[in-house]
Amino acid sequence: MKLNYRFSIYLFFFLFVLFFVIFKTIDFSLKKYTRHHSIITVPSLLGLDSLSAQDTLDKYNLELIILDSASYNPNYNRGAILAHNPKPNSKVKPGRKIYLTINPLKLNYIPFPDLKNKSVRQAISLLESNAFRVGNLHYVDYFAKDVVRFCKVDRVLVNTDDSLPKFSIVDLYLGDGRLQAIEVPTVLGLGFYEIKRVLNNYSLNVGACYFDTSVSDTLNSVIYKQEPIFLEKVPLGSYISVWLTDSVNLRLE
């Protein structure tokens, strides 16, 4: 009886060890097969060119596939990566293909519109409708205020029907109406993407923009401070600096 009891203990122990070994072997095999211990966090490739992206992905044992070109984004260099799938910080396994969307390498050229003697509002509207970007406003001596006298791109004078790349940044040179100074409007509470149009309508430019640490998306940021301040007198074409915070913070205050 005592022998049978001891045998049962040994048998139970043997079966337990056998089960444990089999379980660990299967678990190890599955993890090795699925590369469970080799999960990779996808790095951000936004703004990189394809060669730099390839070098980065090689270090992570990931594969690069250029999917297509998007519409040209003037905020990025030609050939720069605008987006990728999987997105940055996604968890993937080694060897995963990362599909890239890049900024087109070639730009379309279009004729420059006739802005001579147009009002600043008309000029801005024409530029935007023709896929150009409005740069800074500069003022020159002329009896009519906010009337276009001439335009420059990269400090070079441009004329009507000149062929320019789409999304070129155009600086406008306007008549000052013989005014010495204007009062600064308030821009407090405005969103980041509203500032330029509002200030341009007052013959002013956007200066430095300072974002506090709460801002994770400029689309949701609002102005809580400006310099020069409201009603201060400044020359036409002056630059107004602004400080921005997340819109949620401003509502809480």
pLDDT at 67 (0 to 100): 80
The pair of structure tokens assigned to 80 is 């720069």
Q: Are 175 and 139 in contact (CB under 8 A)?
A: yes
Nearest to 83 by CA among 63, 69, 97: 69
Nearest to 130 by CA among 168, 179, 98, 89: 168
pLDDT tens string 199-210: 999 999 999 999
Spatial neighbors of 135 by CB under 8 A, at least 6 apart, are: 169, 170, 171, 172
CA separation, residue 102 to residues 63, 203, 207 (Å): 16, 36, 30
pLDDT at 212 (0 to 100): 92
pLDDT at 251 (0 to 100): 54
Q: In the 8-state DSSP scheme, what is residue 88? A: T
Give Cα 131 distance to the centre of its chain. 19
pLDDT at 36 (0 to 100): 47
pTM of the model: 0.70
Tens of pLDDT along the chain (253 residues) come to: 445 666 666 666 666 667 777 766 766 665 555 554 578 899 999 999 999 999 999 999 999 998 877 678 888 888 999 999 998 888 899 999 999 999 988 888 999 999 999 999 999 999 999 999 999 999 999 999 999 999 999 999 999 999 999 889 999 999 999 998 999 999 999 999 899 999 999 999 999 999 998 887 787 899 999 999 999 999 999 999 999 998 776 654 5
Q: Domains plus CATH for the chain? A: 38-102 (3.30.10.20), 111-176 (3.30.10.20), 182-252 (3.30.10.20)
